[in-house]
Structure 1
Amino acid sequence: MIVITGATGALNGATVEHLLERVPAERIGVSVRDVAKAQHFAERGVRVRQGSYEDPAALRNSFAGAEKVLLVSSNDPHADGASLHRAGIEAAVAAGAQRILYTSHQNSRMDTPFPPGPEHAATERILAESGVAWTALRNGFYAHSLGWLLGNWRETGVISAPADGPVSWTHRADVAEAAAVILAGDRAFDGPVTLTARRAVTFDDVAEIASRVSGREVKRVVADDEQWIAGESEEMARLKLTMFQAARQGHFAETSPVLAELLGREPNDITL
């Protein structure tokens, strides 16, 4: 059996949908906080059980009989994500899983200004010490995040943002499908595997794309870090700023052909 956590979310929910196209429903289980929200899977024959990283006993029960477990990363910026992920890993090991997969992030490392990076790196270290075969799906930076970073360029004709660097913006739908391909297939990916779009672009490139899409010139203006923060809610703006700081250091510039190989087609390009 393949058990997937976070199946009522956008990422792993899509993975379950793609997995249903590849393996019988009775071979799939989901571990979710609210089983009512996964009723649409239960109606199609998927095993639905309650489980969360905060409840190890329920998590072990939801993982029972699993050969493979896909753990979704915590998206709570105020939680100790690595500790939550450890609970998931330990529950999967206790349930007898032969392989644990985890939705990580490209170039996960401890020395990055981007806060999720060290959290993912710490989780990968826990996986490596688990004694079980593991795969870290190092997904590229999700392309829909551009909507949170570009500002109201459609109205102003200006993309005003801090200095950046190349980013291999990757569609969440593509990596969700790729995860299903890996889960359903016989090819073993041991350790980290990078899943990104084919090219990395800067905000200068994005401004050119926006100009083509809108049919008018869209200018790229480099804003001072602190002045840019002053224009938004400070806590959220400072979190966004870490992305620009990491991009300037080249942390999101890596590209990989693996995503295209798994999909059997070119990954989607960025859209605005």
Structure 2
Amino acid sequence: MIVVTGATGTLNGATVEHLLKRLPADRIGVSARDVAKAQHFADRGVRVRQGSYEDPAALRDSFAGADQVLLVSGNDPAADMVGLHRNAIEAAVEVGARRILYTSQQGVATDGPYPPAAIHAATETILADAGVAWTSLRYGFFSHSFAPLLGPWRETGVIAAPADGPVPWTAPADLSEATAALLSGERSFDGAVTLIAGEAVTLDDFAGIASELSGRSVERVVVDDEQWVTDQTADGVPEQAARFMLTMFRATREGYFAQQDPLLAELLGREPRGVADRLAEQIGA
């Protein structure tokens, strides 16, 4: 059995949908904080049990019988996410899972400028020490999340932001499909693997793509880091949130997300969706 956590969310929910196309429903389980939100899976024969990273006993019950467990990474900045991930990993080990998979992120680093990267690094260390096979899925940044970095370019004709570097913005739909293929296929991967779109782009590239798609000139303007934070807070963004976003700009320009890897395309059997596809959707081109 494959047990999936976070299946009431968009990403792992789509992974379960893809698994249902590949496997009988009785070979799939869902561990959900709120089982009512997973009723649509239960109605189709998927085993649904209550479980949360805060409750190891419930996790053990929800993971029981699993050959593989897919753990979604948490994103609560106020929580001890490494400790919660440890709870989930230990529960999967205790029920005898033969492989644990974890949704990590490209650019994992213990000392990089982007704080979530250190959480993923610490979690991968726990996985490596757990004594069972493991796979860390280092996803590319989700392509729907680049909009805040671009700012109101459609109104101003300008992408004004700090200096940046290349990022392979990746469609979550592609990641879900590839993860299901990996879970249900005969080929397994040990350790960390990188699942990213085929093209890494900068905001200069965005300006060029936006110009072509919109039929108007879009200019890229580099703004000083502190000035950008000031501008963001003046527009109503909390300073803490603006400074968090700034860490991502710093990580991109230091090359943390510049890596290229063909694995996502291999798992999909086609080229992943690119930035132009997503940007065209957003502007209705």
- TM-score by length of structure 1 reads 0.99
Q: CA deviation at 1:135?
A: 0.1
Query: 2:262 matched to 1:241?
Result: no
Could you say which residue in structure 1 is the equivalent of 2:91?
91
Q: Provide the rounded CA distance (Å) in 2 between the counterparts of 1:155 and 1:247.
A: 26
1:162 aligns with 2:167: no
Distance 2:231 2:15 in 1: 37
Partner deviation per Cα, 1:116-144 (whole Å, 9 max, x = no partner): 10000000000000000000000011111
Aligned to 2:40: 40
> 265, 269, 273: which is aligned to 1:260?
265
In structure 2, what is the Cα distance between the partners aligned to 1:183 and 1:2? 8
AA aligned opposite 2:241: M
User: What is residue 250 of structure 1 aligned with on the other side?
Assistant: 255
1:182 maps to 182
Instruction: Give the Cα–Cα distance (whole angstroms) in 2 for the partners of residues 54 and 227 of structure 1.
Output: 40
Aligned-partner Cα distance in 1 for 2:142–2:80: 22
TM-score (norm 2): 0.94
1:127 is matched with 127
Q: How many angstroms does 1:188 deviate by?
A: 1.1
**What is the match of residue 78 of structure 2?**
78
Structure-2 residue corresponding to 1:215: 215
Letter in 1 for 2:239: E
- Which aligned segments of 4 or more residues in structure 1 are displaced greater than 6 angstroms? none
2:203 is aligned to 203
Name the stretch that deviates more: 100-109 or 229-238: 229-238
Aligned partners of 1:162, 1:76: CA distance in 2, in Å?
A: 26
Name 2:283's counterpart in structure 1.
Answer: none
Question: Cα distance, 1:242 vs. partner?
Answer: 0.5
How far 1:108 moved relative to its partner? 0.6
The one-letter code matched in structure 2 to 1:259 is: L
Other-structure match for 2:11: 11
- Once superposed, what is the RMSD of the aligned Cα atoms? 0.7
1:249 counterpart letter in structure 2: E
User: Which residue does 1:150 correspond to in 2?
Assistant: 150
Separation of aligned partners in 2, 1:175 and 1:192? 15
Q: Which runs of 5+ in 2 are unaligned?
A: 233-237, 280-285
Structure 1 unmatched ranges of 5 or more:
none
CA distance in 1, matches of 2:35, 2:136: 26
Distance 1:228 1:80 in 2: 30
Secondary structure at the aligned position of 1:134 is classed as strand
Quote how far apart the aligned CAs of 1:107 are.
2.3
Q: Percent identity?
A: 68
2:138 corresponds to: 138
Q: 2-side partners of 1:204 and 1:77: how far apart? A: 31
